[in-house]
Amino acid sequence: MKIIADNTIPYLQGIAETFAEISYISPEEFTHDRIKNADALIIRSIDKCTQQILEGTSIKLITTATIGFDHIDTAYCDKAGIAWANAPGCNADSVAQYVLASLITLSIRNNIDLKNKTLGIVGVGHVGKAVERVCKAYGMNILRNDPPREEQEGSAGFVSLKTIAEESDIITFHVPYTVSGIHATRHLANEAFFGEVKKKPWFINTCRGAVHDTTALLRARREGIVSELIIDCWENEPHIDLQLLDAASIATPHIAGFSADGKANGTRACLQTIGNFFRIPIEKIGEVVPPLPEEPVIDLDLFTSRRMEQAVLKTFCPETVDRMLRNAPHHFESLRNNYNHPREYKAYTLLNIKEEEIFLSDLLGFNR
């Protein structure tokens, strides 16, 4: 079997070689001629699998190590008999880690207590549920908006997008990117949405750039309709809007889901899909494990205040990545490709934890 894989997918080399002939290529090399003889592809969101690239190839299966799959022409694949699979939930905890760390960063910067603030979550799938879990544990009130889930499960526990806009102190988007249908998400955060906003909330986008309308978002920020912006996803990536970069409180190059753990989860999901599809054992899949963090032990006694918050920021500090993007916004894709993937909470052990800190520590997943 022949596999072609994006050479930036981590923890794959040395694993797939045990059952396939595998070639690693850069995103720029994903062309029809380069992939035409492959049986399977292992890709990420930058690798566009269009009809033009796929037509006339030997490809039977496309696996993407990402939650999103809008980079795959799924309609053509279904028509052409090419199976495809994404990795749902693979980076949910990573995005939740990013959101909580970013909120903590702004709360410290502005001397604001996040407890009892109302967080409106738009899209409560794998990622939205992970964000809900950590922010609820932190003491925030949660509003949930997810029309597709509400249709299936009933209205209990869900609110309208209008309610999110009117009642939230913080609004965070975790929806897939879709351009058609009754629940299309392109420009979901648009002029009409911001016209409903009441409480000058913080606005977060860590899903897809075009879920917000950049022009409308900038106007809302200029007019004080929203007060803080946490932007990880941008329209027209990698050519990001520099006005939005300047307006953002925290700006990062689409790396919210880029923890080492999330990357390993995505790679394992691709390998498992290949094994199931071609009915072959993947004997070394258990070796897809990220390395330990440089400092896996966090001593809480080193912090004089906000100890658990400082522990969260020890695992991931958004300000570090923010500075890198502001210093070199035209290197957006390079910053993504060369990002130093952080480990999630479960890779760290807390020392000298106090009784009142145990609940949050355990819920986030720290060791003690």
| Nearest-angstrom CA–CA distance, 254 and 206 | 7
Q: Kindly report the three-state secondary structure assignment for every residue of 305-336.
A: CCHHHHHHHHHCCHHHHHHHHHHCHHHHHHHH
Helix axes 260-278, 92-110, angle to 10 degrees: 160
Given the residues 126, 144, 174, 208, select the one marked as catalytic. 208
Count, residues in the chain? 368
Query: At residue 333, what is the residue type?
Result: E
Cβ–Cβ under 8 Å, residues 16 and 22: yes
Helix, strand, coil % over all residues of the chain, rounded to 5: 40, 15, 40
Cβ–Cβ under 8 Å, residues 342 and 259: yes
| Nearest-angstrom CA–CA distance, 55 and 62 | 13
Q: Enter the tokens of residue 280.
A: 């072959």
Peptide bond into 147 cis (omega under 30): no
| Nearest-angstrom CA–CA distance, 278 and 60 | 10
254 part of the active site: yes
Given the residues 254, 268, 307, 336, select the one marked as catalytic. 254
Helix (H) or strand (E) holding 141: strand 141-145
Q: Regarding beta strands 228-231 and 170-173, do their DSSP bridges make them parallel or antiparallel, or are they unpaired?
A: unpaired
Cβ–Cβ under 8 Å, residues 299 and 357: no
Query: At residue 167, what is the residue type?
Result: E
Indicate the DSSP class of residue 230: E
Given the residues 55, 150, 166, 237, select the one marked as catalytic. 237
| Nearest-angstrom CA–CA distance, 192 and 146 | 18
222 part of the active site: no
Mind telling me the catalytic residues?
Answer: 208, 237, 254
